[in-house]
Amino acid sequence: MNILGFESSCDETGVAIVNTEQGLLAHAVHSQIDMHKAYGGVVPELASRDHIRRVLPLTYDVLKNASLTIEDIDAVAFTAGPGLSGALLVTASVAQAFAWSHDLPTIPIHHLEGHLLSPMLSPEVPEFPFVALLVSGGHTQLMRVDAVGQYELLGETLDDAAGEAFDKSAKLMGLPYPGGPHLAKLAQGGVPNRFQLPRPLKHSPNLDFSFSGLKTAVLTTLRKLEKEGEVSAQDYSDLAAATETAIVDVLGYKSIKAMKQSGLKRLVVAGGVGANIHLRSFLEKQMAKLGGEVFFPPLALCTDNGAMIAHAASERVKAGLVDLTERNYSTRIHTRWDLAEI
């Protein structure tokens, strides 16, 4: 069964085809980073208009690369939320129109479920159950995953997401959008222990996160440096290193704490921040000490993409969670959507 999947929840347009038996056949992603860079962040209206321009050409490219035609598609999946309303409506409308015109079933997918299951697209596929760390610019959550569709929230951020802390701290340092990768690169030449930044909620009894205080501490440190004179390149590198270390420290500590509390031996990391090399290294070392394993999606699939949406749909079909006889062509989307509701 070939499933065509669409993703457009924020600033990436993604299209992919997954076969329920063979796996990922082809995928393509267009990033809007260059367009939004001039504004220092995502402009929702511009994002929506660019999704409209990109989605059909990407679809034709994916069909060609998979050596398939439109008639070979058996179902259509799309991100139904959470995300930017205008952006979500673009591929939701395209998916529903495509499915209606070819009498195909549609499969609305939760964006976070797509990320949650994306490490299963790697050569080494994690077995259920496992603990998942979903960490991106919009989300930071720890979840227990017992099977497809069986998710238990263990902890989440009470304010800023980890990726948001990366991006906003980078912006304070004058780095371009998106700030996270630029901050990580700047941190390579820095001394992380020069500045003592807070680790909010690191030692709290629960598994929740908080990163807004860290961002404030970065701003306070910068203002102090500016009062002392001109901020040097080394100052920025040291502060970037301290910021990255603080975020990774909290994410890593809470993840290992979740592993110990759950008694599980498999940790799955998904989302854009999962591409951070220091976070990967930290978790690999700590999981090895526990006698466990850690799984990451391929680097190309850490950010938003259509492959994770088509794959999540495929997994739901195989788990018997989709009624393929239903023909519901509603374009209903959810800008806010609790994963526990699916």
Q: In angstroms, how far is the first alpha carbon of the chain from the final one?
A: 23
Is 24 domain-assigned? yes
57 and 163 belong to one structural domain: no
Residue 288, class by beta-carbon neighbours within 10 Å (0-12 exposed, 13-18 middle, 19+ buried)? Answer: exposed
135 and 170 belong to one structural domain: yes
Structure tokens at 106: 């549609």
Rounded CA-CA distance 21/299 in Å is 23
A 10 A CB-CB count for 338 gives: 11
215 and 330 belong to one structural domain: no
Of 138 and 101, the structure prediction assigns the larger pLDDT to 101
142 and 18 belong to one structural domain: no
288 and 308 belong to one structural domain: no
Report residue 268's pLDDT band, with 50, 70 and 90 as the boundaries.
Answer: very high
Confidence (pTM): 0.94
- Domains in the chain: how many in total? 2
Is 257 domain-assigned? yes
Is 100 domain-assigned? yes
**pLDDT recorded at residue 157:** 96
Residue 7 one-letter amino acid = E
140 and 105 belong to one structural domain: no
Rounded CA-CA distance 279/269 in Å is 10
Is 37 domain-assigned? yes
205 and 97 belong to one structural domain: no
pLDDT value at 338 more than 90: no
CATH number at residue 212: 3.30.420.40
| Mean pLDDT within 210-221 | 95
330 and 246 belong to one structural domain: no
Report residue 327's pLDDT band, with 50, 70 and 90 as the boundaries.
Answer: very high
**CA 79 to centroid of chain Cα atoms:** 13
Is 335 domain-assigned? yes
Report residue 108's pLDDT band, with 50, 70 and 90 as the boundaries.
Answer: very high
Which contiguous run of DSSP H or E holds residue 325?
none
Is 216 domain-assigned? yes
Residue with tokens 């938003």: 304
290 and 196 belong to one structural domain: yes
Please give the torsion angle defined by the CA atoms of residues 216, 218, 224 and 228, in that order, rounded to the nearest 10 degrees: -160
**pLDDT recorded at residue 322:** 96
Is 122 domain-assigned? no
pLDDT value at 332 more than 90: no
Nearest to 242 by CA among 142, 140, 176, 165: 165
Please, what is the Cα angle at 61 between 58 and 65, to 5 degrees?
Answer: 140
167 and 279 belong to one structural domain: yes
181 and 86 belong to one structural domain: no
216 and 286 belong to one structural domain: yes
Rounded CA-CA distance 139/293 in Å is 23
Rounded CA-CA distance 327/312 in Å is 19
pLDDT value at 299 more than 90: no
Rounded CA-CA distance 240/185 in Å is 9
Structure tokens at 125: 């596929």
Longest dimension (CA), the chain: 69
Is 213 domain-assigned? yes
**pLDDT recorded at residue 223:** 96
Report residue 40's pLDDT band, with 50, 70 and 90 as the boundaries.
Answer: confident
Query: In terms of residue numbers, what domain contains 233?
Result: 128-296
